[in-house]
A and B are shown apart, each in its own frame.
Chain A
Amino acid sequence: MPKLETVQQLEEYRRRLLTHPDAQALQILVCGGPGCLPMGSEEVAAAFRQELKERGPAVKVLLKESGCQGWCSKAVKVMIRPQEITYQQVTPQDVPEIVAETLIQGKILDRLCYRDPADQTAKAHKSEIPFYQGQQPLVLGKMDLIDPTSLDDYLAAGGYRALQQVLEQMSPEAVIQAVGRSGLRGRGGGGFPTGRKWRLCREASGEVKYLICNGDEGDPGAFMDRAVMEGNPHAVLEGMIIGGYAIGAHQSFIYVRHEYPLAVKRLSLAIDQARQCGLLGDNILGSGFAFEVKISKGAGAFVCGEETALIRSVEGDIGEPVPRPPYPAQHGLWGKPTVINNVETWANLPEIINRGADWFAAMGTEKSKGTKVFSLVGAVNHTGLVEVPMGTTLRQIVFDLGGGIRDGGEFKAVQTGGPSGGCIPKEYLDLPVDYDSLQSVGSIMGSGGMIVMDQSSCMVDVARYFMSFLHDESCGKCTPCREGTKQILEILTEITQGRGSEEHPALMEELCATMRSASLCGLGQSAVNPVLSTLKYFREEYEAHIQQKRCPALVCRSLLKYTIDPETCTGCLACVRECPAEAIRGEAGEPQELDQELCVKCGQCYEICKFKAVKVES
């Protein structure tokens, strides 16, 4: 690709891409996102490649491997453009038929389509499918349109047009004003107004300023930023170049965890491509503005998503937070004014410039503008990435997009914001989701994790699980977080093992108050959310564990009792063979007996019994 020396050359290059015959061609986009890749998307793509090769030039189809198409529970997904036909759960065996029927004859294959649960009619087109209908994809918008390894694809989809506009028509001040007016708030969790952060940094004294993209996504079950880095890396770069221009930074870093090797690879490729064609480096598009991006790989500590810890890590030091003030905008990387925003924030910027701050600000709620990407996982029918306007209710997300609770179960709670978010009960399903509303019910927006739980989750066990994660990930620098997470985990473990005492809930609440108010960074301050929210909304479950030594959800192993119903037991001995503790005895063909003294409550007999003769109670 040629070196583009002016904005006009870029515009001319894009025009040529759009008038090229390929631009109108039939396209197959095989989803290569984090959900589809492990389900065999590469094999599906290879099968298409082979099939198209065998068919020869008579079939004119462009094959692409796209970024995440969102609906991960339907992996592997295939999108056929321009009709926007979406096929799901595609295997290599389906490929010849798709080529023969859909690509050549234009027929829809009903068996690969989403089926309306009400009347079983096949819904082939993206616009007909409820999972996509409530969405407003800004950040995810180009993901099922482009090949993330192709700069041409990004350019043809309007990529770098915002940068053109910024360099040609806007002063740095005008960019900051536009970002401020858009109401964009940091998508990494803190929700700090992005425009204000940029202004602080721009106005901070000093010639050298830095810009950082925080790609240290570490929440269990969350993969929004990963999907964007892997699926649309140039959008992140474009946002960063615009940001650098606005604050006066010429060097930037993308901090991305080592566990995201594909993100690292795609970002590295995008940086090389942008540099080669003059979108990075000195004198970008003849504007005189110089900007560089480097990748800084993290070793996977959750706390490094905290901005001061992240800065220490980029500097090569131990990733521990430092007290603020001074704030990074004034005294950040190597002591220089630094703006840190997360992947999703950067990826929002091109759209804000392209469509205008007012358009962006018209979406959302009073204090939270635009859209938010959520990683919808857990006990819902449709899991995956969703992007909805701020203010969409939890009910819409869980039931309309997520298709309700799987296996006909009952909604119990949704945890938003990653491990340090709170568990929100069904009373608040109609809560319009934004930064402030989530906080008002004891949770957080975080970076957009959303874990849905049904009646099979024990809320005490859930709190214990998240606390064990946070305890493991606490850096240990400050006392309240280091010792607080340790002691809360200790107490929750006692409760789930039937050794809880009447004093424990109040003691945890007291300890949580100090962790929240006196911890050094957001990790310790928010670590209390899963505990306090479950204590508040699911108190009766704690009481059952503590007072009656009972786990109502039948999860906490120590509190379970397994028995064999002599009426139902056929004496097949399957459980006897499975039992690791030799606790089940009896003659073949006769009802078996389970020795409670020996039972280790592993539940294997319960799983193996075909006759439902093993009962579990608490």
Chain B
Amino acid sequence: MNSDYVNLTIDGQAVKSQSGLSLLLAAREHGIDIPTLCYHDDLKPEGHCRLCVVEIGEPGRTRLVNSCTYPAEPGLIVQTASEKVLQARRMVLELLLAEAPAAELIQKMAAEHGIYETRFKKADPQARCILCAQCVRTCREVVGVSAISMAFRTPKKIVATPFKEESEACIGCGSCVFICPTNVIPYTEKDGIRTVWGRHFELQPCKVCGNYIAPKAQLEHWAKITGDPVERFFVCRDCR
């Protein structure tokens, strides 16, 4: 056997998986789906939401770990839908229903787990943010500008720009808006101006067709990382 592969048991099924691959992906490879909220294929898993927890270990000596970060190990016994796992998952969803009553995704996932109402005190009925940090991680890991970050601790925790002021680092790309699973980040585009995180970005029209391409700040960012003159990006993809 190739030493890069390990044998483990997932839901009673003997499986072979790449060593070190997360249990979440190992399970998916074998057709076992584990629900996730903060996980994204393009982002480094961080284990925020705890929805993807699975139970590992020998009977009687088990514990819950988040499958998005826990690596496949030889001989590991994994249960992805044990009673303990489902209890934790349902409780997490019930808590999120109270934290973000207006988040449709949470309502849908909760309903899939048989939860239609929360027994806990609800926050603002319009609240939608579940603090999964996908926006923050996208800005840091994919866009590479770290314009937003988590701020404060539990009672006041939010996603914010530094000092909640207009961020100089933000390029207005909108990746955070795109990635957000609960559509909570305000974003508008009107008359050639994009507004996100309280800052207005002038959009660059295509020199050929005149359609808006992207914020000028974003094109300047591209110019900086490619070393090309910014004008090179003033023609849209369709007209290139």
Provide the residues of chain B in CB contact with A507, threshold 8 Å.
119
Once A487-B120, A514-B88, A517-B63 are accepted as A-B contacts, the answer to whether A479 and B95 lie under 8 Å apart by CB is yes
The verdict on B84 contacting chain A, using a C-beta distance below 8 Å, is yes
Quote the shortest CB–CB distance from A23 to chain B (angstroms). 51
Quote the shortest CB–CB distance from B75 to chain A (angstroms). 15
Q: Which residue in A473, A513, A517 is a CB contact (below 8 Å) of B153?
A: A473
The verdict on A320 contacting chain B, using a C-beta distance below 8 Å, is yes
Chain B's closest residue to A483 (CB) is: B95
The verdict on A482 contacting chain B, using a C-beta distance below 8 Å, is yes
Once A514-B87, A520-B47 are accepted as A-B contacts, the answer to whether A481 and B154 lie under 8 Å apart by CB is yes
Once A476-B154, A479-B92, A482-B157 are accepted as A-B contacts, the answer to whether A518 and B53 lie under 8 Å apart by CB is yes
Once A325-B70, A514-B87, A517-B63 are accepted as A-B contacts, the answer to whether A479 and B49 lie under 8 Å apart by CB is yes
- B residues 123-162 touching A (CB-CB < 8 Å): 130-131, 133, 149-150, 152-155, 157
B96 touches A483 (CB 8 A): yes
A323 touches B131 (CB 8 A): no
- A residues 468-497 touching B (CB-CB < 8 Å): 471-487, 490
The verdict on A109 contacting chain B, using a C-beta distance below 8 Å, is no
Inter-chain CA distance A325–B95, complex, in Å, is 26
Chain A's closest residue to B55 (CB) is: A517
Inter-chain CA distance A513–B153, complex, in Å, is 23
Quote the shortest CB–CB distance from B87 to chain A (angstroms). 7
A476 touches B92 (CB 8 A): no
What string of 1s and 0s marks CB contacts (under 8 Å) between A501-539 and chain B?
001000100110110011110000000000000000000
Quote the shortest CB–CB distance from A203 to chain B (angstroms). 18
A510 touches B91 (CB 8 A): yes
Q: Which residue in B66, B71, B84, B154 is a CB contact (below 8 Å) of A482?
A: B154
The verdict on A301 contacting chain B, using a C-beta distance below 8 Å, is yes
Q: Which residue in A471, A503, A510, A514 is a CB contact (below 8 Å) of B154?
A: A471
Chain A's closest residue to B136 (CB) is: A318
Inter-chain CA distance A482–B154, complex, in Å, is 6
Provide the residues of chain B in CB contact with A486, threshold 8 Å.
154-155
Provide the residues of chain A in CB contact with B92, threshold 8 Å.
479-480, 514, 518
Specify which of A325, A474, A479, A514 lies most central, judged by the most chain B CB atoms within 10 Å of its CB: A479
Inter-chain CA distance A517–B53, complex, in Å, is 10
The verdict on B200 contacting chain A, using a C-beta distance below 8 Å, is no
Provide the residues of chain B in CB contact with A490, threshold 8 Å.
120-121
Quote the shortest CB–CB distance from B158 to chain A (angstroms). 9
Inter-chain CA distance A301–B99, complex, in Å, is 23
A485 touches B71 (CB 8 A): no
A301 touches B153 (CB 8 A): yes
Provide the residues of chain B in CB contact with A520, threshold 8 Å.
47, 50, 66
A472 touches B150 (CB 8 A): no
Inter-chain CA distance A482–B156, complex, in Å, is 10
The verdict on B11 contacting chain A, using a C-beta distance below 8 Å, is no
The verdict on A61 contacting chain B, using a C-beta distance below 8 Å, is no
B50 touches A472 (CB 8 A): no
B154 touches A475 (CB 8 A): yes
A318 touches B98 (CB 8 A): no
The verdict on B202 contacting chain A, using a C-beta distance below 8 Å, is no
Provide the residues of chain B in CB contact with A482, threshold 8 Å.
99, 131, 154, 157
A480 touches B153 (CB 8 A): no
The verdict on B48 contacting chain A, using a C-beta distance below 8 Å, is yes
The verdict on B166 contacting chain A, using a C-beta distance below 8 Å, is no
Quote the shortest CB–CB distance from A303 to chain B (angstroms). 8
The verdict on B220 contacting chain A, using a C-beta distance below 8 Å, is no
Quote the shortest CB–CB distance from A475 to chain B (angstroms). 5
The verdict on B69 contacting chain A, using a C-beta distance below 8 Å, is yes
Provide the residues of chain B in CB contact with A513, threshold 8 Å.
87, 91
Quote the shortest CB–CB distance from B166 to chain A (angstroms). 21
Quote the shortest CB–CB distance from A334 to chain B (angstroms). 16
Chain B's closest residue to A477 (CB) is: B48
The verdict on A322 contacting chain B, using a C-beta distance below 8 Å, is yes
Inter-chain CA distance A507–B91, complex, in Å, is 11
Quote the shortest CB–CB distance from B22 to chain A (angstroms). 10
Provide the residues of chain A in CB contact with B130, threshold 8 Å.
479
What string of 1s and 0s marks CB contacts (under 8 Å) between B73-102 and chain A?
000000000001001100110011011000
A483 touches B99 (CB 8 A): yes
Provide the residues of chain A in CB contact with B157, threshold 8 Å.
475-476, 482
A471 touches B155 (CB 8 A): yes
Provide the residues of chain A in CB contact with B53, threshold 8 Å.
517-518
B91 touches A325 (CB 8 A): no
B48 touches A478 (CB 8 A): yes
Inter-chain CA distance A518–B84, complex, in Å, is 10
Once A323-B70, A514-B91, A518-B88 are accepted as A-B contacts, the answer to whether A318 and B149 lie under 8 Å apart by CB is yes
Inter-chain CA distance A471–B152, complex, in Å, is 12
B121 touches A518 (CB 8 A): no
B153 touches A476 (CB 8 A): yes
Once A471-B155, A514-B91, A520-B50 are accepted as A-B contacts, the answer to whether A479 and B96 lie under 8 Å apart by CB is yes
B98 touches A483 (CB 8 A): yes
Inter-chain CA distance A323–B153, complex, in Å, is 18
Chain B's closest residue to A486 (CB) is: B154
Chain A's closest residue to B53 (CB) is: A518
Further 17 A-B residue pairs, CB within 8 A, beyond A480-B95, A481-B154, A482-B131: A303-B153, A322-B46, A474-B154, A478-B48, A478-B50, A479-B49, A479-B51, A479-B92, A479-B95, A480-B50, A480-B88, A482-B99, A487-B95, A490-B120, A503-B119, A518-B50, A519-B50
Interface, chain B (partner A; CB < 8 A): 46-51, 53, 63-66, 69-71, 84, 87-88, 91-92, 95-96, 98-99, 119-121, 130-131, 133, 149-150, 152-155, 157
Interface, chain A (partner B; CB < 8 A): 301, 303, 318, 320, 322-323, 325, 471-487, 490, 503, 507, 510-511, 513-514, 517-520
11 intermolecular pairs with C-beta atoms under 8 Å apart:
A322-B46, A475-B157, A479-B51, A479-B130, A490-B121, A507-B119, A510-B91, A517-B53, A517-B84, A518-B50, A518-B91
User: Which are the 7 A-B pairs with shortest beta-carbon distances?
Assistant: A476-B157, A483-B95, A514-B91, A474-B154, A476-B154, A323-B47, A518-B88
